[in-house]
Amino acid sequence: MSYRVELFAEQDTVGPADVIELWKRETGMPDDEAARRLHEVLFVALGDDGQLIGVSSAYLLRNEQLRMDLWYCRAYTAPGHRPEAVGVTLMHRARELLEERFTSGADRRGAGTAVEVESEVLQRDFRPAIWPQTGLAFIGKNASGWHVRVRYFPGALAPDP
Amino acid sequence: MTLDPHWNLDEGYRIELFDEQDIVGEEDLLDLWTREAVLPEIEAKRRLPEVHLVGLTEAGELAGISSARLRRNEQLRMDLWYYRAFVAEEHRRSNVAVTLALRGRDNLQQRFVSGEDPRAAGVCYEVENEGLKRYFPEAEWHPTRFLFIGENPLGAHVRVWYFPGALAPDPPR
């Protein structure tokens, strides 16, 4: 099955209700959390028939280890579509968009993208210190023990001494 | 990644593996470190086995030293080569220090990739000098591409370069 990835805000095939429905159906996300997270949605992956099969989102958060603000990215893919690497494409497009905004000066709030790898399967089976497809580099673990990976935008600065 | 082909060491200098040259010896290293008051003699002697590269002038004068020490990084739960480069005062306007860092990284990487020495997953720098932090503030350094991963308890910037094929630690079972 083929799919396409589009900016959520610039398409009208799926709407907020579809995103919430996917999150709730597949992950059991509570209503209030799904509603809160809606404004973080960047891209959607759509199947041939226009069905929503994946969502990427990003939120700005301070990383205390780095003393830097970063865009924490998430991608969710419906279970039947995971072998198609939809999640990698969603992450890749999200990073490209945020990086373009940073380098153009449109939005310089985040110095890069970060992911927190909750899945133990991912931590165990995708162990390269730098993920080849996304360039995300391992920088340690968070308080929950999840791997944290970062990719800086070109020109991003380390914190002042 | 290997050394950027456009990167050239300043004219009049060359970089050699300390163990594979016979122009300077251990006494020269100790003399430079102590003469420039970088290290007390006892620490200088301790560090001798860690010496990796030397920067030399055309006349055979010792201009710089790099050393590598295998150490556990607790934040990453990985063993890394902690790398240091020192350049004599009168040669600091050259690019010997950066070249020591680049060639040191590439040599250790080649040893990792070939399987000759797989003990460390990459190279780590702890940048204590405030001037260096300000002068090279990029989160990812160019041309060395060392990545900022945080600060140590003394406030030094910690930067890492992973070798190709290096693995993040296993999750707890």
Test mutation, A130, A136, A149, A153, chain B, max B CBs within 10 A? A130
CATH number at residue A42: 3.40.630.30
Residue A68's H or E segment, with its range, is strand A68-77
How much is the average pLDDT of B122-132?
A: 91
Which residues of chain B are within 8 Å of residue A115 when distances are taken between CB atoms? none
Please check whether residue A157 lies inside any domain of the structure.
no
Please check whether residue A66 lies inside any domain of the structure.
yes
pLDDT at residue A149 is higher than 90: yes
ipTM exceeds 0.85, yes or no: yes
- CATH fold of the domain at B13-162: Aminopeptidase (3.40.630)
The domain total for chain A is: 1
Do B76 and B120 contact (CB within 8 A), yes or no?
no
pLDDT computed for residue A119 by the predictor: 85
| Out of A128, A147, A158, closest to residue B148 by CB | A158
pLDDT in tens, B154-164: 999 999 999 99
Please check whether residue A29 lies inside any domain of the structure.
yes
Please check whether residue A88 lies inside any domain of the structure.
yes
| Out of A67, A140, A158, closest to residue B138 by CB | A158
Mean pLDDT score of chain B: 91
pLDDT in tens, A46-94: 999 999 999 999 999 999 999 999 999 999 999 887 777 899 999 999 9
pLDDT computed for residue B94 by the predictor: 85
Do A95 and A141 contact (CB within 8 A), yes or no?
no
Q: How many CB atoms lie within 10 A of CB A72?
A: 18
Which residues of chain A are within 8 Å of residue B172 when distances are taken between CB atoms? 145
Please check whether residue A60 lies inside any domain of the structure.
yes
Q: Which domain range does residue A46 map to?
A: 3-152
A110 Cβ contact partners less than 8 Å away, ≥ 6 residues apart: A60, A69, A70, A71, A98, A102, A153
